[in-house]
A and B are shown apart, each in its own frame.
Chain A
Amino acid sequence: MTRIVCIGNSLIPGDAAGSHVYERLLRAGLPHGVELVEGGLAGLNLLPFFDDGRRVVLVDTVSGLAASGDVELFDCAPALGRTDGAYYGHGGGLSCLFGVLPAVADGPLPEILLVGMERPAGESAVQTAADMCLDLAWGGRSLEPRPLS
């Protein structure tokens, strides 16, 4: 059982890639049992999606984690519980969520992967990320995730 959560601001071009991936996955169709979530601007408000044991695949733009325009798959486990330097704000994103997740989750944490599109993420990155999500949704794993650190 997998839940794909696409994060992005469709109204800000530099941050819209996750929203574009969501639209493509919506059109592509996903196998039974795979849930697709428009995460939008949410940070901590995504917490309930980690509570039912489903594997969570996050899709978002990243910065400084890969070559420009590249898409990489990350294993988020190393980032969980790290709060150094993190602040909660209205704009607080995944780092805040990862920081507090172990302390506030109901039950055991699921496997958490991140499909990260290095900024600036253009058309090619969006398609690659969508393909990667579809591969994960259908049970494949063509790429080994990199530890997120």
Chain B
Amino acid sequence: MGTRTIIDMPLNRAEGDLEIRVEVDDGVVTDAWSAGTMYRGFENIMTGRGALDGLVITPRICGICTTSHLTAAVLALESLLGVQPPDQAIRLRNVALMTEHVQSDIRQAVLMYMVDFANAAHAGNPLHEEAVRRFSPLKGDKCINVIRETKKVLEIIAIIGGQWPHSSFMVPGGVVHFPERSDIIRCRHILQRYRGWYEHQVLGCSIERWRDIGSTDQLYAWCEENASQNDSIVGFFLRFCRSAGLDAIGMGAGGYLSFGGLDMPRKTRVKGSRGKLIPAGFHHGGKGHRFDQARIAEHIASSWFEGYDGGLHPSEGLTRPYASGNEGGRYSWAKAPRYDGHPAETGPLAEMMVAGNELFADLTATIGPSAMVRELARLVRPAFLLEAIELWLEEIQQNDKTEFYVPPLDIPDGSGVGLIQAARGALGHWVSISRGRIDRYQIVTPTSWNGSPRDSAGRRGPWEEALIGTAVRDPANPVEVGHVIRSFDPCLVCSVHTLTAGRSLGRAVFGV
């Protein structure tokens, strides 16, 4: 007779509070529940405030994606106003947002994902000793190296936005400040340094060489091509994942969502698609579909909210906490967003799939949308963003005497929506204004998509589904579950951070 185990696993290395419960039969996950254990309620905080208050409050939703929330908030107001900011403002906004992405991608990959390669559960892996040297929490040489370099690149956002995090430099009609020419030159130098480090340490080759890779076979051949690539962070990542079987777990269900992001200036040398650098779309059933935000609905059947059955579009959404009733059926403070009725995965892999990237199309076709493939997409996304940042900084410098702000009219009554791709995926802000006040504000974050609980039809959310079939060798140290969940880069909400006596941080962690 087989053994059946329930594992409750706190994943507090994620933003805020996230707990995963998995049912394990004979060493294999047979069911999973993802619980956001903290009520957010930002939507209710916003109601009744001034029309512009979202520009100050929403960047404080998250200490990591602060520029993403600011961008979504300002785009929501601009869609209501019907204004488009000047090219220089678009470039400055994009540079700040992309800088946030390229530091977040590498910090998450090395400090939050590859740190688990040093987990004692992998002690039998021939690469474990090397993994410990590289990735031990806050000690590994690659961890220290990543912290040092990502610290510097964030100066770009501070220069453009006046501060980071929690800047509010974007306003309807543009940005509040244009940097001095010397500041732009400094940004370019910082970026050049970061790109050099990224190519040398993370890829082990030039960005141009990396972008030549178009298939799974070419990827594996690239890894063995020379010592530099084999030993790079990406090279080691691939070798470790394959040796530990991470290329075969965490398979996604196949629906990929991108809201699209990074508006294109009217005149630019950067090449985009349909007005954006990151295209919008829904990839499902093996083909791409045009994105229509009207097809989004949020379900609350398994969430601690009340007020409706089935799904509601975010512009009509309700956020009424209800922490009792239907015990056992409701298990999360996160809602369950669905696109056209389907659960949808979002993030860098979804961006690659929607954009039709050859390498990731082949990887998902040949080995499947595994934890390794999902995390690889994040690790190499900067290779697709850094060149655009360079070009836009150059264009900002060349056009430094042109306007960066067009004063808009007073904000009228009406509704607006701001949709972007944040570092972790599709982020949407829906706002409704009445008599100069916020009448309704709904936010759907990337982790709401990826970490959603079951919907009204009982369908699991993306990472709940991706856990099914995962082999767990040691229920006391279910590192495999962590590998799957963290490949989605979970980020529920910023929460309390407190220095505690006798230990480093007052939070339980899924330990090494």
A contact residues vs B (CB 8 Å cutoff): 7, 9-12, 14-15, 37-38, 40-45, 47-48, 60-65, 82-96, 99-100, 103-104, 114, 116, 119
Contact = CB atoms under 8 A, between A and B. Distances in A.
B495 to A, nearest CB: 6
Contacts of A63: 498-501, 506
Given A44-B107, A100-B143, 12 more contacts: A15-B497, A43-B63, A45-B63, A45-B154, A45-B164, A63-B506, A86-B138, A87-B115, A88-B13, A90-B494, A91-B16, A100-B147
B504 interface: yes
Contacts of A64: 500-502, 506
Interface in B324-376: none
A95 B504 contact: yes
A78 B120 CA distance: 29
A91 to B, nearest CB: 6
B14 A47 contact: no
A16 to B, nearest CB: 10
B267 interface: no
Nearest to B103: A45
Closest 8 CB pairs of A and B: A41-B63, A93-B497, A64-B501, A90-B15, A89-B13, A95-B504, A86-B504, A88-B111
B397 to A, nearest CB: 23
7 contacts: A15-B495, A15-B496, A42-B165, A83-B137, A91-B494, A91-B507, A94-B497
The majority secondary structure among interface residues of chain B is: loop
B176 interface: no
B166 interface: yes
A64 B505 CA distance: 11
Contact of A60 (B115, B144, B499): B499
B155 A62 contact: no
B42 interface: yes
B391 interface: no
Contacts of A43: 63, 497
A86 B500 CA distance: 12
Contacts of A82: 504
Contact of A91 (B163, B495, B501): B495
Given A90-B491, A93-B497, A11 B60 contact: yes
B270 interface: no
A40 B166 contact: yes
B63 A89 contact: no
Nearest to A84: B504
Contact of B112 (A12, A41, A89, A99): A89
Contacts of B148: 103-104
A45 B138 contact: no
Contacts of A85: 503-505
A42 B496 contact: no
Interface string B54-65: 000100111110
B49 interface: no
Q: Which of A43, A88, A89 has the most CB of B within 10 A?
A: A89
B155 A99 contact: no
A62 B499 contact: yes
B60 A90 contact: no
